[in-house]
Structure 1
């Protein structure tokens, strides 16, 4: 099984990038398979082994592979793209089958039988995750990952988007007990102590500062993983990808060992067109625009400047700038 593992801090644009990669006709996308399904799908024994053993036995790996390859509407997400495999060749039919299974849960076995590929398909399975990287080393070893991609978005933009999500009720609003527990768990972080020394109310962190610290600690782990997987790890900058989506995707496909693919153009151009209606049944990808993968003509990378006050942006930059600079130095360039 060939796995492409894509990770990024929440609100970094990972779902959009996952769909850019998913435009390739050899890629099968599994949306947050570990974060959303975890032990309910894998069973406690296998899931705990994946998180803690730093490698699986051949029998465990075979069991895990079957579960990753198994089609399921909870981890198959629109939009759907044409693939070179069986029924995947017809994306509109795939979307209709997915909608039918959503409406009639008893159709799940039929959906699974049609869209689960055999072991000889040569498909690359894309797994996208935005949850904690605490167990990432063990998970990556268990998955026997051949390609690892980290998406980095400017921290001001990430935090502004997250705060908008809190206001809309789309993202969890961390309470003080959650913040205090997180601080205790991460007090030995390489940078957390130094950053905390610049914060006046460690026991009552504003969301701006708490999310900034979260962002730094998350990417501290990213840097460790980049070093450990130096031969296969790729850092993508979200803003670079926005500026030249097709060019960066071509280079990314090359580095992932995938053949050139023109479907990226077909995904990007319609969603930028004023004639594109993402509310249509077979274009709709999410229940609301906050989680949509489409980037229409009005989308701007610097929208965060309208959301954040100048003092808030300066505070985020003060807490995150050093880490962001380190990540930028390691990013993929054309």
Structure 2
């Protein structure tokens, strides 16, 4: 069910780095009502990319894929508190002004590409060719840029939508600074998160080769968040655990913070990846309704095509969603599942699930 429990409706501090804005269209500086953007946030390996592409399939959406990567939002702590929102307002507004005008291939050229209401069919063909060229160039040069063949000011129907696995801990602050925005906080079962993460690390699928279970530089600010104090954890106590247990705690601490930050915000809805897998059309319809998007047959076609068969590949967007969401049940031993659940079960995010 959409918004499984929807509350009342639904450190790395550096100078902000807007280097990704170096390729901006200086004549096109504003999307209509920029505060009405849609924000999708969740942990890595939680179905965020597929759900984001469901939104991108809408013809009025201007999608940006993880625009806060590459240090662009480092001026705001990873695990920010909405109580401190005002002190970060200027930094966030600078970032938001930049987002729709980013031109780097990673951010504005994620596949598949969808026809849009704000770009003509001929321009769409040219834009698509440029995107594929940029992707080819990025493999050689490391980074490339894509020209934008439309002017956002001429199309007030555009809805800026961005997805992040980095700013889950900032979701409460972001929603507070943009009360007209709509955000989805995306959960995935802790066993599913742990199993997928272990599979990706074993297959060397991640850019960072360090184990997530040993990322103590991330655990430190996580443990410093007020929502973590109830667990009595320290870095030393975490180091005594095995990798599976540390990953389970990573899941708990991330979502404990995020859920505590959005619990009273009607502009944020908590959703489960598993519900999208079970009934993607219904969940997408309700997600669009919550974010004030009308239903699109183009979205319906994308959901049908992306769920019609299983295409091998760790990052594949075409798969049987029910099989994908339940793969962990046979992928990791029952004893490991139980250890994860012993940690995650009696927590705020754990209460969204049964074991």
TM-score (norm 1): 0.77
SS in 2 for 1:291: coil
Of the structure 1 ranges 120-129 and 177-186, higher mean CA displacement relative to structure 2 is found in 177-186
Q: Is the 8 A contact 1:32 1:127 kept in 2?
A: yes
Deviation of 1:26 after TM superposition, in Å, equals 1.4
Q: Distance in 2 between matches of 1:94 and 1:82?
A: 11
Aligned to 1:101: 134
Aligned to 1:332: none
Aligned to 2:50: 16
Aligned to 2:192: 157
Q: Distance in 2 between matches of 1:154 and 1:301?
A: 9
Aligned to 2:115: 82
Tell me: CA distance 1:193–1:258, structure 2 relative to 1, closer, same or farther (3 Å).
closer
Q: Distance in 2 between matches of 1:176 and 1:58?
A: 32
Aligned to 1:207: 243
Aligned to 1:307: 331
Tell me: CA distance 1:175–1:117, structure 2 relative to 1, closer, same or farther (3 Å).
closer
Q: Distance in 2 between matches of 1:4 and 1:155?
A: 25
Q: Distance in 2 between matches of 1:159 and 1:11?
A: 9
Q: Distance in 2 between matches of 1:215 and 1:298?
A: 21
Q: Is the 8 A contact 1:3 1:125 kept in 2?
A: yes
Aligned to 1:282: none
SS in 1 for 2:346: helix
Deviation of 1:142 after TM superposition, in Å, equals 4.5
Q: Distance in 2 between matches of 1:175 and 1:238?
A: 21
Aligned to 1:168: 203
Task: Give aligned pairs, total.
Answer: 308
Tell me: CA distance 1:56–1:183, structure 2 relative to 1, closer, same or farther (3 Å).
closer
Alignment counterpart, residue 38 of structure 1, candidates 62, 67, 71: 71
Deviation of 1:307 after TM superposition, in Å, equals 1.7
Tell me: CA distance 1:15–1:221, structure 2 relative to 1, closer, same or farther (3 Å).
same
Tell me: CA distance 1:313–1:10, structure 2 relative to 1, closer, same or farther (3 Å).
same
Tell me: CA distance 1:318–1:82, structure 2 relative to 1, closer, same or farther (3 Å).
same
Aligned to 2:317: 293
Q: Distance in 1 between matches of 2:144 and 2:44?
A: 29
Please provide the CA RMSD for this pair: 3.7
Q: Is the 8 A contact 1:30 1:127 kept in 2?
A: yes
Aligned to 2:301: 266
Structure 1 residue runs of 5 or longer lacking an equivalent are 279-287, 330-334
Following superposition of structure 1 onto structure 2, how do residues 83-232 of structure 1 map, counting pairs within 5 Å? 83-87=116-120, 93-103=126-136, 111-115=146-150, 117-118=152-153, 120-131=155-166, 133-142=168-177, 146-171=181-206, 172-174=209-211, 178-179=215-216, 182=219, 186=223, 190=227, 194=231, 196=233, 202-229=238-265, 231-232=266-267
Q: Deviations over 1:268-303 (max 9, x none)?
A: 2223445x9x7xxxxxxxxx8212222248944211
TM-score (norm 2): 0.73
Aligned to 1:27: 61
Q: Is the 8 A contact 1:195 1:319 kept in 2?
A: no
Q: Distance in 1 between matches of 2:95 and 2:225?
A: 33
Tell me: CA distance 1:138–1:50, structure 2 relative to 1, closer, same or farther (3 Å).
farther
